[in-house]
């Protein structure tokens, strides 16, 4: 509950101490990182309080006192802390250090990062409501007696486990899809919890849709020993009460295991002993709004600071992690900072899918599926096996087009097309959300013959259902069923879990989906995966595009043939991955055919070394949003000129590129421009960015029409 503290007034002696408090101040307000408030009672750092800010009362965190005593400017009267959130222990020093590092490194206000990491309900609950939440959190059911089931590990799993048990790490667990990485995680969690009755483990997954499947597996393993309440989840899809309950369980130590998405890296723990980052390469770990932190990198920093072991796992590691885990050689006796652990074989002697490249230049014109691929899908479905068709574009078609006058379904607010969704006959912009009805005729010339261009998952689902309508699934003797899983079909609460359950139960024969079904899922009956249109990423201006494409295709192919016993029972036909491409000789596909991530990574790292790109250099983006593109670019140019004129620290090692529009230049009526900064020295780049903040703040009022500016340190998309 919130206890009242006597307000600071003339009755309180002038010597009443001032406390530094972190609060979420408006962005670019120029308000300091910490504000000073008077308190008649001493409060330890980490105490949650309510404080006045302007005309409002907001949540704050008492912070560590600076070396110099706090003072207020002449003529400024101090304001008093309004109350303390009683019943919640102060946030620990390790959590405060994490927040300070994240704010400093990602160039954001300390209060913004600290308050964003706390459950929103802490800001809104009345004292009596908070007291009820705390009472419920304190009356968790006791753990049921039992023991963790024993598991027979493969030789590769046993070797990885032995190294993790004996060494400090951090570790990069490089295991092929289906090699049993999750079992290694579970063993390490069990070991950590058994070694210390207060120990806690944090398991990060890239996306919400992966949480239920992993949660069920973790709960089945640990609930018999530690009870159901010992495992909690933390992700943005939870309701505010659910999120507060999980946060309190982690903060008090009642939760022994926390499973969550990137936001969970900021959870408050009583005693963190182990951090697992599954699918560590995934771009979803990078926050794209507010403080643009990378959860994987913060997990590594937090593990080092708190003495917790950190395990990064992936079948297609990020090139940054791959380089950081390089073994020592004669030319590089130090090697990388991580220990690389190999698990190249699938559990149960299962075979990785055979990759077959289909040259679209040799196929019938306008064919969506090559005849050989359609025949392979039909054959698999007839035997009762499942197929996965991957197309990373939702909707029916990317654009509607009038062939008479050239009109396209452009979004009126963005420099992008409205996507045609046939199911509800709508045009929707996937950038700003603007939606409209499909016109009966061309709005420009009246031509009634407007047609879709390109394909999305909705169109593929419809097309496949038509092609397979006469296919009978044996031995069930029923017609083949095609289903789709993407962001459109999973909007309703519980829809994703229901659809995944249908796939696992064998009620779906062909699953059409985007990248959300291409990674992490353990589909036991899928034996064929087909990627329909993957070529777009081959010629992207973003230097990370080939890495992301290779990872996506390899992860998608990994959904096939995961159950060796099932494959054998079906007749032993090897699992397959088909890739339809106009460029079958491209090096990305050549490496994919060999399932050779190390060779692909080596080639990519050689190119980046020669070009001076990450991980051999460090980058930051400064973005400006304005009513006009000229205003956005003028602001960035002026800020760069001011930095050069001031000879900011680190400038001699930082290269500032000219400002350019973003790939999608206008979103929701706002023009966007960006400036790339690059340096061979992380320290020089950080020193420059910290010193540049004041100049950026000073430059902003000079550019009428500028909406906002922001920094993105270590950007993942350019």
**pLDDT tens digits along 382-434:** 999 999 999 989 899 999 999 999 999 999 999 999 999 998 899 999 999 99
Count CB neighbours of 54 within 10 A.
Answer: 8
Residue 66, pLDDT > 90, answer no
Residue 449, pLDDT > 50, answer yes
Note the pLDDT of residue 5: 46
Determine if residue 429 is labeled as part of a ligand binding site.
yes
Q: What Å distances lie between residue 340 and 174, 205, 311, 343, CA to CA?
A: 7, 20, 10, 10
Determine if residue 432 is labeled as part of a ligand binding site.
yes
In the sheet that holds 18-22, the strands lie side by side as 2-4, 83-85, 48-53, 56-62, 18-22, 35-38
Note the pLDDT of residue 30: 61
Kindly report each contact of residues 365-369 with a partner whose C-beta sits within 8 Å and lies 24 or more positions away, as own/partner: 368/455, 368/460, 368/463, 368/532, 369/464, 369/467, 369/530, 369/532, 369/580
Q: Mean pLDDT check: name the lowest of 67-71, 268-272, 611-615.
A: 67-71
Determine if residue 402 is labeled as part of a ligand binding site.
yes
- What's the farthest any 2 CA atoms get from each other in the chain? 89
Cis omega (within 30 of 0) on the bond before 115? Answer: no
Count CB neighbours of 247 within 10 A.
Answer: 26
Task: For residue 138, give every residue at least 6 positions away whose Cβ sits within 8 Å of its Cβ, in sequence order, or none.
Answer: 252
Q: Which residues pair with 419 in a beta bridge?
A: 428
C-alpha 66/C-alpha 45 separation (Å) is 11
Structure-model confidence comparison of residues 169 and 165, the more confident one: 165
Q: What Å distances lie between residue 117 and 98, 247, 291, 400, CA to CA?
A: 11, 10, 11, 42
C-alpha 50/C-alpha 586 separation (Å) is 59
List domains and CATH numbers for the chain.
2-138 (3.40.1440.60), 155-343 (3.40.50.300), 350-394+457-609 (3.40.50.300), 397-454 (no CATH), 618-713 (3.30.70.260)
Contact 521, 511 (CB under 8 A): no
Note the pLDDT of residue 496: 85
Model confidence band, residue 463 (pLDDT cutoffs 50, 70, 90): very high
Cis omega (within 30 of 0) on the bond before 28? Answer: no
Residue 327, pLDDT > 50, answer yes
Determine if residue 414 is labeled as part of a ligand binding site.
yes
Pick the closest to residue 23 from 65, 55, 70, 60 (CA basis).
60
C-alpha 512/C-alpha 545 separation (Å) is 23
User: Which percentage of the chain shows pLDDT scores above 70?
Assistant: 93
Antiparallel, parallel or unpaired: β 48-53 and 56-62: antiparallel
Dihedrals φ, ψ of 394, to 5°?
Answer: -85, 175
Note the pLDDT of residue 148: 65
Pick the closest to residue 156 from 29, 432, 341 (CA basis).
341
Half-sphere exposure (CA, 13 Å, Cβ side) for 20?
18
Mean pLDDT in residue range 501-512: 91
What average pLDDT is seen over the chain? 89
Count CB neighbours of 224 within 10 A.
Answer: 16
Q: State pLDDT tens for residues 623-646.
A: 999 999 999 999 999 999 999 999
Residue 143, pLDDT > 60, answer no
Q: What Å distances lie between residue 677 and 527, 620, 638, 718, CA to CA?
A: 45, 5, 15, 11
Note the pLDDT of residue 139: 55
Residue 271, pLDDT > 70, answer yes
Mean pLDDT in residue range 428-457: 93
Mean pLDDT in residue range 162-188: 93
The H or E element containing residue 498 is helix 495-504
C-alpha 77/C-alpha 8 separation (Å) is 9
């Amino acid at each position: 509950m919130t206890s009242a503290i006597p307000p600071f007034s003339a009755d309180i002696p002038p010597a009443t101490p001032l406390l530094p408090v972190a609060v979420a101040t408006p962005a670019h307000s120029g308000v300091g990182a910490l504000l000073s408030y008077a308190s008649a009672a001493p409060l330890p750092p980490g105490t949650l309080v309510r404080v006045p800010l302007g005309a409002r009362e907001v949540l704050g965190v008492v912070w560590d006192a600076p070396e110099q005593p706090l003072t207020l400017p002449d003529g400024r009267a101090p304001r008093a802390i309004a109350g303390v959130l009683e019943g919640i222990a102060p946030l620990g020093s390790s959590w405060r250090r994490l927040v300070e590092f994240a704010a400093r490194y990602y160039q954001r206000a300390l209060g913004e990062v600290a308050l964003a990491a706390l459950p929103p309900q802490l800001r809104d609950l009345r004292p009596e409501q908070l007291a009820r939440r705390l009472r419920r959190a304190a009356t968790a059911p006791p753990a049921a007696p039992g023991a963790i089931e024993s598991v027979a590990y493969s030789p590769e799993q046993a070797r990885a486990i032995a190294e993790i048990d004996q060494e400090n790490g951090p570790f990069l667990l490089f295991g092929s899809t289906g090699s049993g990485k999750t079992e290694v995680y579970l063993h390490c969690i069990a070991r950590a919890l058994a070694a210390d009755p207060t120990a806690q483990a944090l398991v990060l997954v890239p996306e919400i849709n992966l949480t239920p499947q992993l949660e069920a597996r973790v709960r089945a393993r640990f609930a018999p020993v530690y009870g159901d309440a010992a495992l909690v989840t933390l992700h943005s899809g939870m309701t505010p009460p659910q999120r507060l309950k999980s946060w309190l369980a982690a903060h008090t130590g009642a939760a022994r295991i926390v499973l969550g998405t990137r936001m969970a890296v900021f959870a408050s723990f009583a005693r963190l002993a182990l951090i697992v980052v599954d699918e560590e390469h995934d771009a979803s770990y990078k926050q794209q709004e507010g403080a643009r932190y990378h959860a994987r990198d913060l997990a590594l920093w937090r593990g080092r600071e708190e003495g917790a072991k950190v395990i990064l796992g992936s079948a297609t590691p990020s090139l940054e992690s791959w380089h950081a885990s390089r073994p020592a050689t004669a030319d590089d006796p130090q090697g990388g900072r991580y220990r690389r652990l190999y698990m190249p074989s699938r559990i149960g002697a299962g075979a990785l899918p055979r990759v077959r490249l289909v040259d679209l230049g040799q196929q019938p014109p306008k064919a969506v599926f090559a005849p050989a691929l359609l025949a392979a899908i039909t054959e698999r479905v007839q035997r009762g096996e499942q197929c996965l068709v991957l197309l990373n574009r939702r909707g029916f078609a990317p654009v509607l087009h009038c062939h008479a006058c050239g009109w396209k379904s452009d979004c009126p607010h963005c420099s992008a097309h409205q996507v045609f969704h046939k199911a509800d006959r709508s045009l929707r912009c996937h950038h700003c959300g603007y939606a409209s009805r499909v016109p009966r005729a061309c709005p420009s010339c009246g031509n009634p013959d407007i047609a879709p261009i390109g394909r999305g998952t909705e169109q593929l689902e419809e097309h496949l259902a038509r092609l397979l309508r006469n296919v009978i699934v044996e031995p069930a003797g029923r017609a083949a069923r095609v289903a789709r899983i993407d962001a459109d079909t999973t909007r309703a609460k519980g829809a994703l879990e229901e659809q995944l359950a249908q796939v696992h139960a064998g009620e779906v024969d062909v699953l059409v989906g985007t990248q959300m079904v291409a990674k992490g899922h353990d589909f036991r009956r899928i034996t064929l995966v087909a990627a329909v249109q993957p070529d777009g990423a081959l010629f992207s201006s973003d230097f990370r595009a080939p890495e992301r494409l290779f990872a996506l295709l390899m992860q998608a192919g990994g959904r096939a043939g995961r159950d060796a016993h099932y494959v054998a029972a079906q007749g032993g036909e090897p699992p397959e991955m088909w890739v339809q491409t106009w460029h079958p000789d491209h090096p990305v596909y050549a490496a994919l055919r060999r399932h050779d991530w190390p060779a692909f990574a080596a080639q990519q790292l050689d190119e980046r070394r020669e070009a001076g790109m990450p991980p051999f250099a460090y980058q930051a983006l400064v973005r400006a949003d304005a009513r006009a593109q000229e205003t956005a670019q003028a602001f960035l140019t002026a800020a760069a000129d001011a930095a050069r004129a001031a000879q900011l620290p680190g400038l001699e090692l930082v290269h500032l590129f000219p400002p350019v529009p973003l790939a999608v230049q206008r979103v929701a009526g706002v023009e966007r421009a960006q400036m790339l900064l690059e340096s061979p020295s992380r320290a020089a780049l950080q020193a420059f960015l910290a010193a540049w903040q004041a100049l950026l703040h000073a430059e902003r009022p000079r550019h009428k029409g500028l909406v906002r500016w922001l920094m993105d340190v270590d950007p993942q998309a350019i």
